Amino acid sequence: MPDTSRDGAARVRAILEESARVKRALAEQSADAIARAAGIVAESLRQGGRVLLFGNGGSAADSQHIAGEFCGRLSRERPALPAIALTANTSDLTALGNDYGFERVFARLVEAHGRTGDVAIAISTSGNSPNVLAAVDTARAAGLRTIAFTGRGGGKLAGRVDLALVVPSDDTQRIQESHIAIGHALAELVDDALFPRA
């Protein structure tokens, strides 16, 4: 029986090294933009706003993960912060998809929950998901600030938000890994801004 562990280990090293390379490129290209995004979120929360997050598939999971970091805590104890993952309620999603079509599910939820001064964080690896684009348009019309986490050059989404954080990769897995790193950095900077360490 051939020993495939050596080949497997080499493949794992290549995957992890590429993930690290993409994150280094992201840090070089977008550290200032990520810090600006944190400032937008912190200012909204300081003024009584909230964060709405949405995306499809892995981006839906990232929306829920990041919302959980705000509502719970990241690395230190502090008051809960209002963040809603619009991806989490299956009754909402299936009712709206059935009644309005899948392209309108997030737009309708932004209409329901978003208020002027809130922040909408749209997550799409391609930047071209129709339901994410529709939600961003609804958010902007309602006076929300809009931030995108995307990749593949930004797609249509990058030009339709106030601030686009574009991962410099065309690989969905590497983009998603970087999106959660952006989410953690964003949450940490928001904590620092709102709850400075003594």
Q: With contact defined as beta carbons under 8 Å apart, do 125 and 150 qualify?
A: yes
> What's the whole-number mean pLDDT along residues 115-142?
98
Q: Given pLDDT bands bounded at 50, 70 and 90, which one contains residue 7?
A: confident
The structural domain count of the chain equals 1
Reported as a single tens digit per residue, the pLDDT across 147-189 is 999 999 999 999 999 999 999 999 999 999 999 999 999 999 9
The pLDDT score that the predictor gives to residue 90 is 96
Q: With contact defined as beta carbons under 8 Å apart, do 119 and 44 qualify?
A: yes
The pLDDT score that the predictor gives to residue 4 is 67
> What's the whole-number mean pLDDT along residues 15-40?
98
- Mean pLDDT for the chain? 96
Round to whole Å and give the CA distance between 140 and 39: 18
Q: With contact defined as beta carbons under 8 Å apart, do 138 and 148 qualify?
A: no
The pLDDT score that the predictor gives to residue 75 is 86
Count the residues in the chain: 198
The pLDDT score that the predictor gives to residue 5 is 78
First to last CA, the chain: 60
> What's the whole-number mean pLDDT along residues 88-94?
97
The pLDDT score that the predictor gives to residue 1 is 58
Q: Give Cα 151 distance to the centre of its chain.
A: 11
Amino acid at 20: A
> What's the whole-number mean pLDDT along residues 124-134?
98
Q: Which long-range contacts (CB under 8 A, 24 or more apart) does 4-9 make?
A: none
CATH of the domain at 40: 3.40.50.10490
The pLDDT score that the predictor gives to residue 158 is 98
Q: Phi first, then psi: what are they for 191, rounded to 5°? A: -55, -45
Give the domain range for residue 26.
5-194
Secondary structure of the chain as H, E, C letters: CCCCHHHHHHHHHHHHHHHHHHHHHHHHHHHHHHHHHHHHHHHHHHCCCCEEEECCCHHHHHHHHHHHHHHCCCCCCCCCCCEEECCCCHHHHHHHHHHHCHHHHHHHHHHHHCCCCCEEEEEECCCCCHHHHHHHHHHHHCCCEEEEEECHHHCCHHHHCCEEEECCCCCHHHHHHHHHHHHHHHHHHHHHHHCCCC
> What's the whole-number mean pLDDT along residues 109-125?
98
Reported as a single tens digit per residue, the pLDDT across 60-82 is 999 999 999 999 998 889 999 99
Distances from the Cα of 126 to the Cαs of 55, 169, 173, in angstroms?
11, 10, 12
